[in-house]
Amino acid sequence: MHFGSKPMPLNRKFTFSQQKIHHYLECQRRFELKYILQQPWPAIRSQPVIEMERQMLEGQQFHLMAQQYLSSIDPVLIETQINSEKLNNWWQSFISFSNSFLTQQKQIETQLVGDIAGFRFIAILDLLVFQPPDHFLILDWKTNTQKPNRSIIEQQIQTRLYPSLLVTAGSSLLPNTSVSPAQVEMTYWFANHPNEYETFIYSKSKYEEDLIFFEHIVKEISQQTDFPKTEKESRCKFCEYRSLCNRGVQAGESIENDEINWQEKIETIDFDQVGEISF
């Protein structure tokens, strides 16, 4: 879509997240429709999409149970929510993995907000643990059917944004305390592969590289005059806007995109209610 010779300015109240950047990199047209024009979803629902939604609900239920457990709610009460063998397996594996975090200083489902290139960025952290004297551990639970290769995980927007945002906005965590890149690490725990978690140590060089990357993305989007459709039509199979782009009406016949369980759980947040977080 063209908006004339001048760039369409991005509203300064626009908030970036790893999911929004993911959509932009996957398909600029999808980003425009979803976040700038806020176009309603026109695509016909089909069984594969319904199945993907079922998987999302299972993942959301697991995240809720994990949040309750780390908040010291009685596990016996939490277990009454289990309604499938899969969820029970995830639950039992999670208890074994996360038990040591119960007594540590932590924030659960933390909303971390910071400024990059003049725009607000937000990250939703499943768990943030402070390990004295000066170490911060970001943990994230994944319910992907398959575990991606480490090299792929390392390049995920989430792997780059969460640590960099913690460094950028870390002063809100502890009074008069700044967070340096060397103090941060991030661990992914996979419910379907509980013994194969991946940990990434952050560094000053990675932080500087990530800031440049996100600043470039912000500049590119804010100056964009045209948002083209992706050339990779395989990405359109489960896109809700595929019919608007003449990329088909029916969804794909198989669930090939496990990315759905990689993206953020929270799409819209009342940012006026987001304040500082503290331990």
pLDDT tens digits along 45-95 = 555 566 667 778 889 999 999 999 999 999 999 999 999 999 999 999 999
CATH top-level class for 17-268?
A: alpha beta
More confident residue, 4 or 222: 222
In single-letter form, the type of residue at position 31 comes to: F
Whole-prediction pTM: 0.85
Asked if pLDDT for residue 275 goes beyond 70, the answer is: no
Domain map of the chain by residue range? 17-268
Question: Cis bond leading into 48, ω under 30°?
Answer: no
Task: Give the model's pLDDT for residue 262.
Answer: 52
